[in-house]
Amino acid sequence: MLAEVAARAEVSVATVSRVLNDRGGSAAARRRVGTALDVLGYERPAHLAERATPPVPDGVGVPEPVARGLVGLVLPDLGNPVFPRFAGVVERCLAAAGLTPLLCTLTPGGVHEDAYVRVLRAHGAAGVVFASGLHANTEADPARYHALHADGMPFVLVNGAVPGLDVPAVAHDDALGTRQAVRHLRQLGHVRVGLVLGPVRYTPSRRRAAAFAALVAERELGPEAAGLVAHDEYGAEGGERAAARLLAAGATALVCASDLQALGAVRAVRAAGLAVPGDVSVVGSDDSPLLRFTDPPLTTVRQDVEGVGATAVQALLDEMRGGRAAPGGGARTEILLPPELVLRGTTAPPSARSLQRLVAAR
């Protein structure tokens, strides 16, 4: 474990040991080790997460365990608009079933997912909905979910499944969404399509990359497209950085893994002195409500947030009642809900200047 954290943090094993044991290490080293722990799915020791667990003020009692109507909803940072929408759907569905939702948000350096689970179990929670949590991080240890299942806690995984684990899993069909976006751009006449993705460790990124590679293998994209894949953070800044790299490689169209990344991609296009969609087409993913009002309105792959949320809650309710979808044991088939391509103003046929850039890139 020490070597793994040291490699991720780009510090020595000795430095990791000192930081974890609170025996030294510069502020920068402590930050790097803390971030590495977050990425790899390990819980931070208390001295590295003090701000996330403030002391209880005098006179404020610790709440008593609640009834078994409590259900945890574990979500990433709510900065991406799709997650508050998803939370709203899940909360409404749980309330309709007479259950009380408890929102648990994951932020870098904040309360760890494992800590949330301990709190939920201590309060007699009836189940948990994990959305884009550590189960979606291929570098995190899945043993926590196997142990939770073995202990009898009902839960459902959203946007990522754990191989071999017999629990329900629901997701947006990222591979199909990638195919829809790329085929739309090919129909417009784009041949040099780039793919802007989140970090490679996340399951949705890998699914989108695999779908893109399959399009190359099926010759729906040329072999040069294999090199037009850029990974970065899911926010606008990450999208801008990734898009800039793909533009430099001659991409005339960009498919982005989130609407926020797409906003960053539009900014990168304009920073390069180009226009959207006149010179470069951009496609997002999620269909955040406000993005239809951007200039130009964003073409995007709409997630069925309502469907994913309602399906996840129904799967959890079935699990709580003792039902299962795969009689005879074994892992269940992940439920994938189809996306919808929404055409707006950020995609168009390649312009003469786009074709000139393509020739120059070759």
The string of pLDDT tens digits covering residues 219-259 is 999 898 889 999 999 899 999 999 999 999 999 999 999 99
Whether a cis peptide bond, with omega within 30° of 0, leads into 84 is no
| Residues 14 and 74 placed together within one structural domain of the fold | no
Which residues have CB under 8 Å from 178's CB, separation 6+?
Answer: 195, 207, 208, 211, 212, 215, 255, 301
Q: Is 169 left (phi over 0), alpha (psi -120 to 50) or beta?
A: beta
Q: What is the CATH number of the domain that holds 29?
A: 1.10.260
pLDDT score recorded for residue 351: 82
Asked if residue 64 is part of any domain, the answer here is no
Q: Does residue 235 share a domain with residue 326?
A: no
Structure tokens at 242: 């990734």
Do 29 and 104 sit in the same domain of this protein? no
Determine how β-strand 281-286 pairs with β-strand 127-131: unpaired
Does residue 15 lie in a domain region?
yes
**CA atoms in the 13 A half-sphere facing the CB of 252:** 25
pLDDT at 63: 37
Q: Which residues of the chain have pLDDT under 50?
A: 50-68, 325-329
Q: Do 192 and 256 fall within a single domain?
A: yes
The reply to whether 347 and 321 lie within a common domain is no
One domain for residues 349 and 230: yes
The reply to whether 286 falls in a domain is: yes
Listed residue (155, 114, 260, 133) closest to 202, CA to CA? 133
For residues 119 and 191, state if they share a domain: no
- Output the six-digit token pair for 217: 């293998």
Structurally, how many domains does the chain consist of? 3
Looking at the structure, do residues 189 and 295 belong to the same domain, yes or no? yes
User: For position 354, what pLDDT does the model report?
Assistant: 66
C-beta separation of 77 from 49 below 8 A: no
Task: Report if residue 59 sits inside a domain.
Answer: no
65 in a structural domain: no
Residues 328 and 357 occupy one common structural domain: no
- Does the residue 268 lie in any domain? yes
At 81, list the tokens.
Answer: 């608009």
CATH number of the domain at 261, please: 3.40.50.2300
Between CA 164 and CA 180 the distance in angstroms is 29
Is 324 found in the same domain as 186?
A: no
Q: Which helix (H) or strand (E) holds 102?
A: strand 100-106
My answer on whether 146 and 200 are in the same domain is: no
Give residue 24's domain range: 2-52
Q: Do 47 and 75 sit in the same domain of this protein?
A: no
Domain-embedded: residue 44? yes
Residue 141 inside a domain? The answer is: yes
